[in-house]
Chains A and B, each alone.
Chain A
């Protein structure tokens, strides 16, 4: 097997950011760093030389339009890595490609151009310019670009409107609340309309309700723009809420990369499972993740007595009834079937009931789990064409919510 991250796995055209073997040793000069990194235990060698290994041999790929979340505890190297993408942090070694161009070796002029045109950034503590109005803050990237004032202000006002700050352009940052300030921070990044957006724990300084508002705002913007975004957070629930791909880091190394559900369902090691134990799994898992095949489904044309004996063979009290094209029509119970036999029905159409709960495959477990166990049949999953996709038994929900390891080995 080849290095899983070292070589591009997707279509190179499709990749917005590629990091390869990125390493950052703080506090050491070039030669000392090279020597320490060649040691058997680089982290210990760098520490012994008086430095700190911020990131070690990190490789990753971000696809265009993707929300890529870097997650980890403080000191895990996530901000170090984020700041390499616009070279606020210069990697000690490794390469970082933005649209195929290595930003590590770019000239100073080219670097400024890339930062100004291609990469927007939102900061943890907002980092607005306190001596500039909200409008001038939002217009800053355009000012650096050298646009005339009228155009700058027009685009800044448009960006402010997108983040819900219309009419606040003449205010100063100190006149705004924390949430509104970060909206300005977001507008400042959006005003330059960069293909790549970097967000460094942008909502962690906000209180939980505002944080949720901001996550919704970001999700809304993201749905419109499909902008390549790298988002750093230490909050796994936030990562799950907004991330397409999540990269978990620890001590400067990548521990796991995958979609949120994969990470919750199949944590790579005890560090990740510790991390995900905090996650409200009911909000993350979907019906698809817990889907089981329906054991018994009956054709609507079947005679009731045949159906009842199938129920008996399967030790079931009820069964799904499907019609033409496998479309789900409803549910029959043993009592219904008994009545149908006595009433001499030829098929099941007269006794089908809607005594069941239907969800789509993408439904969040937390949204439907309260309906589980209320009906004779389990929660029923139906695809977009109305066909029976499977069921989510109550035991599967309880098992998924009770313990990470059981899910991992399910």
Chain B
């Protein structure tokens, strides 16, 4: 096997892109920076205690569980007491922006892949690639494109966190009972109406599970983003580790865990896995609409 100089060619490609598409990358960097700043400003506009109150109210509203809400509230107070509130909000801003972009791109691609075998054949290996390539490998080029700061961290986070949005959207839509889709079609619904009125609502639980995973993956990138000047809790942990401040690293790590817990439980409840279910959702917990449809069919066949 001759040496194809893959590394050299890759480096050339990256240099070429940096030289010729610099304006494009600057544009993205500018937009991302603005978006991150705006999100952070909203999250840090009010006193930490007031914000904690808002977060707790939101958790209660969405999960409808008193005990869980209390635990989450205490966790947020612990963050505040460690003096890491604003860093936590910075990380949350990063997670929210990265998640939003990952979903805005990922869900439509997932829908497209659900309908087109060709798109699916292209997207699936690409997603495998995005999920398996070590983060540090593309973290460096993103720094070259976007410079040191929060933006390369967000971009790397998007690449790392988007795949579940695509995969689970695609899965959710394909899992919808074919006869139910046929029923809508038989009554004259257009493909767009079928998607909007039948497939997306019935795939909702699966798609929301994907959203939850995107958020969790984005959070797991918070510390890595700290390596390239992402700020927030990532920088706290990275700096603490580099200067061997074990206490500070424990505090930073704990704050990440609490933030993760909060975002996980609230986003999971939004997907109908908690008790914040829409009125039509069956009373049995942890059962998705798809499973219900399947059990119905099995019962019918058995009958």
Chain A contacts to B: CB under 8 angstroms: 86, 88, 112-117, 119-121, 123-125, 127-133, 140-141, 144-145, 172, 174, 178, 188, 192, 198, 205-207
Contacts and interface: CB of A to CB of B under 8 A. Distances in A.
Contacts of B177: 125, 127
B303 interface: yes
B201 A131 contact: yes
A88 B187 contact: no
A125 B297 contact: yes
B198 interface: yes
B292 A115 contact: no
A183 B198 CA distance: 20
Nearest to A116: B188
A198 B197 CA distance: 23
Given A132-B280, A144-B188, A206 B193 contact: no
Contact of B303 (A123, A127, A145, A205): A205
B188 A113 contact: yes
Interface in B265-291: 278, 280, 282, 289
23 contacts: A88-B182, A112-B189, A113-B188, A115-B185, A115-B186, A119-B186, A123-B183, A125-B300, A127-B182, A129-B197, A130-B289, A130-B292, A130-B293, A131-B202, A131-B278, A140-B187, A141-B187, A174-B282, A178-B299, A178-B303, A188-B187, A205-B300, A207-B303
Interface string B181-215: 01111111110010001100110000000000000
Contacts of B301: 205
A112 B292 contact: no
A146 to B, nearest CB: 10
A145 B188 contact: yes
A152 B65 CA distance: 38
B128 interface: no
A120 B303 CA distance: 26
Given A129-B198, A130-B202, A121 B280 contact: no
Contacts of B300: 125, 178, 205
B188 A129 contact: no
A128 B187 CA distance: 12
Contact of A88 (B186, B189, B197, B303): B186
A116 B187 contact: yes
A127 B193 CA distance: 16
- Ranked nearest first, the 6 interchain pairs of A and B with the lowest CB-CB distance are A116-B188, A127-B183, A115-B188, A141-B187, A205-B300, A121-B186
Contacts of B280: 130-133, 172
A344 B69 CA distance: 109
Contacts of B180: 127-130
Interface residues of B, number: 29
B289 A144 contact: no
Interface of B: 177, 179-180, 182-190, 193, 197-198, 201-202, 278, 280, 282, 289, 292-293, 296-297, 299-301, 303
Contacts of B182: 88, 123, 127
Nearest to B303: A207
A205 B201 CA distance: 26
Q: Most A CB atoms within 10 A — which of B188, B278, B293, B303?
A: B188
Contact of A121 (B187, B190, B293): B187
A174 B292 CA distance: 8
B179 A125 contact: yes
A145 B299 CA distance: 33
Contact of B188 (A112, A123, A174): A112
Nearest to B189: A144
Nearest to B283: A174
Contacts of A188: 183, 187
A192 B189 CA distance: 13
Contacts of B183: 121, 123, 127-129, 188
Given A125-B297, A130-B293, A174-B292, A141 B188 contact: yes
B197 to A, nearest CB: 8
Contact of B184 (A117, A140, A192): A140
Contact of B187 (A115, A133, A174, A178): A115
Contacts of A145: 188
B125 to A, nearest CB: 25
Nearest to B179: A127
Contact of B190 (A112, A119, A129): A112
A307 B187 CA distance: 69
B41 to A, nearest CB: 38
Nearest to A124: B179
Contacts of A127: 177, 179-180, 182-183
A118 to B, nearest CB: 9
Contacts of B201: 131
A194 to B, nearest CB: 10
A131 B202 CA distance: 7
Contacts of B185: 88, 115
A144 B198 contact: no
